[in-house]
Homo-oligomer: A and B are copies of this chain.
């Protein structure tokens, strides 16, 4: 569970609906199915015209990711790589053939299989880079989809409001309905702006950070497997890969002091 997503959504909804209630406004007054129909239909219609069907479906599936905990600690994948590095160093890279099938990450499995198969380092490097590029591009689709939704939604909301206002203006002769008509029209704006700023754009932002974390793992694997293939000292590989996992600020201190102890 990505706590921040849950807390954020609850906080925003509570603040807005709570504020609405405190002001004495009823929740029903902002529950307008017609406005929802216009805003949601218009926004996702525009998104479908903008993206291929496959990307749209994937983008809805990617919403699950927004709620899942990111793997922030890459130590495990590094330990795994170092284990392979040690074995490859002692018994030759071919000795990894059996273990490779149980590699924890499909990208790691693929890279090691190619290494075991005796693919040339140059080709392996190119293929892995292309693969990382592909994975990154794939991962950007949902980010762009929700960003586009966040761009279309407020304007569709305004469109809905203007349509409502046109309706109101045509019936000015009955001023008693003026106010409630305008109120209904404004709800479309609330939906359009609210969904964009509380859901679509934040989802896109979170997916972007999660993609970055995912890509970091692939980069660790990339550097690790290339180093194994080039027969580097496992100790050095570990040092190199650990630069990626420090708990940053504090970590810089810890690592330094760790080394100091080692040096002492």
A88 adjacent to chain B (CB < 8 Å): no
Known contacts: A159-B193, A197-B156. The answer to whether A255 contacts B110 by CB under 8 A is yes
Known contacts: A3-B53, A101-B260, A160-B19. The answer to whether A179 contacts B169 by CB under 8 A is yes
A15, B41: Cβ atoms closer than 8 Å? yes
Q: Taking the full assembly, how many copies of this chain does it contain?
A: 5
A100, B260: Cβ atoms closer than 8 Å? yes
Q: A169-185 vs B: 1/0 string, CB under 8 Å?
A: 11111001011101110
A215 adjacent to chain B (CB < 8 Å): no
A95 adjacent to chain B (CB < 8 Å): no
From B16, B19, B45, contact of A8 by CB (8 A): B45
Contacts of A152 in B (CB 8 A): 197, 201
B53, A7: Cβ atoms closer than 8 Å? yes
Report the bound CA distance from A109 to B48 in whole Å.
35
Known contacts: A37-B15, A49-B198, A240-B123. The answer to whether A154 contacts B155 by CB under 8 A is yes
Report the bound CA distance from A127 to B170 in whole Å.
63
Q: A31-46 vs B: 1/0 string, CB under 8 Å?
A: 0001101101110111
A-B contact pairs, 23 of them (CB 8 A): A4-B52, A8-B49, A8-B50, A11-B44, A14-B41, A18-B37, A19-B160, A22-B34, A22-B37, A42-B197, A49-B198, A49-B203, A49-B206, A50-B206, A52-B72, A107-B252, A113-B256, A123-B236, A131-B243, A134-B243, A135-B248, A159-B197, A172-B179
Question: When A and B form their complex, which 9 residue pairs have the shortest distance between CB atoms, in order from nearest?
Answer: A15-B41, A12-B45, A8-B48, A172-B179, A49-B202, A110-B256, A50-B205, A8-B49, A19-B38
By a beta-carbon cutoff of 8 Å, the part of chain A in contact with chain B is 2-5, 7-16, 18-20, 22-25, 29-30, 34-35, 37-38, 40-42, 44-56, 66, 70, 72, 97, 100-101, 106-107, 109-110, 113-114, 116-117, 123, 126-127, 130-131, 134-135, 138, 148, 152, 154-156, 158-160, 162-173, 176, 178-180, 182-184, 186-187, 189-190, 193-194, 196-199, 201-203, 205-206, 209, 236, 239-240, 243-244, 246, 248-249, 252-253, 255-256, 259-260, 262-263
